[in-house]
Amino acid sequence: MAVRETSLQEELAKVDVVEEMCACPIDFSKSRVANPRQGVTQKEYSGVATSNFNVRQKFEKTQAPQFTKKFTDGTLPVEPGRYRLIWSRHCPWANRIAIAIDLLGLDKVISKGVVDPLRPAGVVGDWFFTLDDGDVDPILKTKSLSESYRKADPNYELRTTVPALVDIQTGEVVNNDYNVLINELSLAWQKYQSKDAPDLYPKDLQEDIDVLNQILFADVNTAVNEAGQARSQAYYEKYYNQVFDRLDWLEDRLSHQRYLFGNQITDTDIRLYVTLARFDLVFYQKYYVNKKRLVDYPNLWNYTKDLYSIPAFGNNTDFDSMKKRFFQVDHTPFEDLPRIIPAGPDLAIWTSPNDRDRFESRH
């Protein structure tokens, strides 16, 4: 089936889409705007894990998802209670999947575990369950996410990333592909979805959704990071302009309809929301993506508040975790790595009324 909205194809032709994910700018960027430890030899610490920041080069390469087993092709059995999503509340890529699970009503059949947004001092490349009692995930009985990665591949030596879907029976990561997991859950788990669950990947819009997802990936989701880790003025301004040109385009699109594809929530809305939710707190003030704030765009801001008012979005939006990861970075003592953590935002603005009910209902 061809793309129905031909203008989307024209927009896609303007952007470069690279699916592989760069290492997290907070740890690996050569710019101190994103990475406050750039150019610093950090003290060595021990405890939950031994510091490895000073040898972090082994983890810094661009990396595609390593585990990509699917439900839709029958490789993974669709079994309630068998899988656990491991995510961090700060991470926009993982946030997508947590929202989708709750929005589809799959939280009753797929559990979620949360890693600490703050790693042990001086540690990169892994995530830890230090928010749980005894520093152990209560279901997987593991202390770090890397344990599940190595159960899937004993020779695994790359970064462990979130989201990660883990098979509880084997303890192995079976899928860490942030780009396909929502669609996998939408298509293969329909039997277990709530009766009022939205169709996040409707058949008649799939090609259009795929195209707009690529546009957003290049111009919004990853462009904000590229601006933040720029090492030249020209590179920074390239991505700065890319972000705001696309936000202007989205502002106009959302002046005509409640969501990105009319009056129904789709996968694409989730992908845009997770970046917008972090925009003013992180990208505007830390990464210098500061032409406008989200709140300065009437349609985008009201659209984001509208989504936030839905429990699956609002309950999985944790501004405190965002501040911890993006500004505190990890558990390195403040006397060894001075940094300031924002006191805001004022969360009251997120629950203020929005004007999106001028369009038709959500589903």
> Annotated active-site positions, please?
91
Identify whether the C-beta of residue 167 lies closer than 8 Å to the C-beta of residue 83: yes
Q: How far apart are CA 38 and CA 228, in angstroms?
A: 13
Name the residue with tokens 């092709």.
Answer: 73
DSSP string for residues in 333-345: -TTTS--------
Name, in order, each residue with C-beta under 8 angstroms of 21's C-beta and a sequence gap of 6 or more: 62, 63, 64, 65, 93, 161, 178
Closest to 330 (Cα-Cα) out of 52, 21, 39, 31 = 52
Q: How far apart are CA 51 and CA 35, in angstroms?
A: 17
DSSP string for residues in 42-97: PPP--SSS---GGGGGGG-S-B--S-B--STTSSS---TTSEEEEE-TT-HHHHHH
Establish whether 162 is an annotated binding residue: yes
Closest to 102 (Cα-Cα) out of 119, 87, 117 = 87
Establish whether 160 is an annotated binding residue: yes
Establish whether 127 is an annotated binding residue: yes
Q: How far apart are CA 202 and CA 208, in angstroms?
A: 10
Q: Which residues pair with 112 in a beta bridge?
A: 85
Phi-psi region of 288 (alpha: psi -120 to 50; beta: other; left: phi over 0): left
> C-alpha dihedral over 165, 167, 171, 176, to 10 degrees?
-20
Identify whether the C-beta of residue 140 lies closer than 8 Å to the C-beta of residue 166: yes
Establish whether 268 is an annotated binding residue: no
Q: How far apart are CA 115 and CA 117, in angstroms?
A: 6
E strands, the chain, where? Answer: 83-87, 110-114, 164-167, 172-175
Q: Which residue positions form the known binding site for glutathione?
A: 127, 159-162
Binding residues: 127, 159-162
